[in-house]
Amino acid sequence: MIEDWFAQNKLSATDALLEQKLKTHYIDLASERLGGETLSCSDDFFAKMENLLKPGRGVFIAEKFTEHGKWMDGWESRRSYGRNNGRDSDWCIIRLGIRGVIRAFDIDTNYFRGNAPEKVSVEACVSEMQPDKDTVWHTVFEATDIEAHSQNLFEIANDTVWTHVRLRMFPDGGIARFRVYGEAYVNWDDFVDGELINLASISNGAKALLASDMFFSNKNNLIMPGRGVNMGDGWQTKRSRNPDPDWSIIKLAATGSVNKVIIDTCHFKGNFPDSFMLEGCISDNDDFTDDTVNRTWTTIIQNTKLHAHREHVFTKEIITEKNQPFTHVRLNIYPDGGISRMRVLGNRQG
Closest alpha carbon to 179 in 254, 87, 110, 88: 110
pLDDT digits (tens, 9 = 90+) for 13-43: 999 999 989 988 899 999 999 999 999 999 9
Give the end-to-end CA distance of the chain in Å, rounded to a whole number: 63
- Angle of CA points 238, 209, 35, to nearest 5°: 95
Please tell me whether residues 209 and 310 are part of one structural domain. yes
CB under 8 Å to 84, separation ≥6 — which residues? none
Classify residue 298: in a domain, yes or no. Answer: yes
Q: Given 184, 210, 239, which residue is the final one in a domain?
A: 184
DSSP state at residue 21: H
The verdict on 224 and 325 lying in the same domain is yes
pTM for this prediction: 0.90
- pLDDT attached to residue 336: 95
CATH, residue 324: 2.60.120.260
Tell me, yes or no, whether 30 and 165 share the same domain. yes
Our count of domains for the chain comes to 2
Q: Is residue 1 part of a domain?
A: no
Which pLDDT value is given to residue 2?
47
Question: How far out from the chain centre does Cα 101 lie?
Answer: 14
Range of the domain at 296: 190-346
Q: Considering the domain boundaries, does residue 79 fall inside one?
A: yes
Q: Which amino acid is at 217?
A: S
- The pLDDT assigned to 292 comes to 54
* Residue pLDDT, tens place only, 282-292: 999 888 887 55
In a domain, 3, yes or no: no
Q: Are residues 178 and 199 in the same domain?
A: no
Residues of the chain with pLDDT under 70: 1-6, 82-86, 291-294
Residue 176 and residue 105 share a domain: yes
